[in-house]
């Protein structure tokens, strides 16, 4: 039954003409440079915005403690690196009119999870509580090496919200 349903949907899809979704790269140069601007370009966007009929999806790339000039900041300071990482994600979300309340999922990569996970949780919890965030995003927290040896934490995120064109004269619902 289940498989038949999917098979049928698949048949219909192949009969359609594919058209691209509406999407654009997102950035916030006031907090974070473009990865492509490095001396050796890193070919990824800081995030991608996808506008579907009923929902806007923001895919925030792996984000770390990098400043507007592309430099790693707060070297060897896990707490400050995490705070800057969260701030950079806030900036990317804001640029698309969104906020942490729209984040449905994160993946958090720590360079040394045995050493830093306790502090990670203290800082993340304090940050979310300051925002009154509820419900909390889904998340996966694991250890990996990151793209620069001095980076201690990196977070990627998915946000979803509804964006509707603002019509003249009508206020907020």
- Measured from the CB atom, the residue of 39 and 170 that comes closer to other proteins is 170
> Which of the residues 142 through 161 are near other proteins (CB under 8 A)?
142-144, 158, 160-161
Check binding of 14 to other proteins (CB under 8 A): no
User: Quick check: bond before 122 cis, omega within 30?
Assistant: no
Cα angle 170, 101, 164 (rounded to 5 degrees) comes to: 30
Binding mask 45-84 for other proteins (x = CB under 8 A): --------xxx-----------------------------
For other proteins, the binding residue among 67, 80, 90, 147 (CB under 8 A) is: 90
- Residue 35 to residues 4, 29, 32, 40, 87, Cα–Cα distance (Å): 44, 11, 9, 9, 17
117 conformational bin, left if phi > 0, alpha if psi -120 to 50, beta if neither: alpha
Which residue from 102, 151, 154, 155 is in contact with other proteins, where contact means CB under 8 A?
A: 102
- Is residue 125 close enough to count as binding other proteins by CB under 8 A? yes
């Amino acid at each position: 039954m289940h498989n038949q349903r999917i098979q049928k949907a698949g048949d219909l899809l192949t009969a359609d003409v594919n058209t691209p979704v509406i999407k654009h790269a997102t950035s916030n140069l006031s907090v974070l440079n473009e990865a492509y601007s490095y001396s050796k370009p890193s070919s990824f966007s800081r995030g991608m915005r996808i506008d579907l009929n009923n929902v806007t999806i923001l895919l925030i790339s792996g984000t770390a403690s990098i400043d507007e000039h592309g430099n790693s900041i707060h070297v060897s300071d896990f707490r400050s690196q995490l705070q800057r990482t969260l701030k950079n994600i806030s900036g990317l979300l804001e640029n698309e009119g969104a906020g942490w309340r729209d984040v449905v999922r994160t993946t958090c990569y720590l360079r040394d999870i045995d050493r830093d996970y306790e502090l990670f949780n203290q800082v993340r919890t304090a940050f979310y509580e300051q925002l009154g965030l509820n419900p909390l995003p889904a998340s996966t927290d694991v250890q990996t090496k990151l793209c620069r040896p001095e980076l201690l934490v990196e977070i990627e995120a998915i946000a979803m919200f509804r964006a509707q064109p603002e019509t003249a004269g009508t206020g907020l619902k």
